[in-house]
A = this chain, B = another copy of it.
Amino acid sequence: MSTLAPKSDFPLLSREVHGKSLTYLDSAASAQKPEQVLRAMDDAYRTYYANVHRGVYTIAEEATQAFEAARRSVARFIHAERTSEVVFTQGTTASMNLLSYSWGSANLRDGDVVVISQMEHHANVVPWQMACERTGAELAWIPITSDGHLDLSGLESLLQRAKVISVTAVSNVLGTINDLAPLVTAAHDRNIPIFVDAAQSAPHQAIDVQALGADAIAFSAHKLLGPTGIGVLWARQSLLEAIPPFLGGGEMISDVRFDGFDAAPVPHKFGAGTPPIVEAVGLRAAIDYLSALGMDAVADHEHRLAAYAMDRLQSELGERIKIFGPSNPSERCGVISFELEAVHPHDVSQVLDEHGVCVRAGHHCAKPLMRILDVPATARASFYVYNEESDIDRLVAALDAAHRFFV
Contacts and interface: CB of A to CB of B under 8 A. Distances in A.
Contact of A51 (B29, B122, B260): B29
A76 to B, nearest CB: 23
Contact of A17 (B26, B58, B220, B272): B58
Given A50-B358, A57-B359, A360-B55, A93 B274 contact: yes
A359 to B, nearest CB: 7
Contacts of A101: 101
Contacts of A230: 229
Contacts of A273: 90-94, 123, 220
Q: Chain A binding site: helix, strand, loop or mixed by DSSP?
A: mixed
Nearest to A250: B365
B257 A126 contact: no
Say how many copies of this protein the assembly contains: 2
Contact of A250 (B48, B59, B122, B371): B122
B256 A126 contact: yes
A272 B231 CA distance: 14
B365 A91 contact: no
Contact of A126 (B41, B139, B249): B249
A277 to B, nearest CB: 5
Interface size class of A (residues with CB under 8 A): 35 or more
A193 to B, nearest CB: 19
A391 interface: no
Interface in A341-396: 346, 349-350, 352-353, 357-362, 365, 367-368, 371
A349 B94 CA distance: 35
A10 to B, nearest CB: 9
Given A57-B359, A60-B358, A97-B249, A274 B91 contact: yes
Contacts of A91: 273-274
Given A126-B256, A129-B261, A51 B38 contact: no
Given A90-B94, A126-B248, 9 more contacts: A11-B45, A26-B60, A93-B274, A94-B272, A121-B250, A122-B256, A228-B276, A229-B277, A276-B276
29 contacts: A22-B59, A29-B60, A30-B49, A30-B274, A32-B49, A33-B45, A55-B360, A57-B350, A57-B359, A58-B358, A90-B90, A90-B94, A90-B276, A91-B273, A93-B247, A93-B272, A105-B134, A122-B261, A123-B250, A123-B273, A126-B249, A126-B252, A129-B261, A220-B274, A228-B274, A228-B277, A229-B276, A255-B367, A258-B371
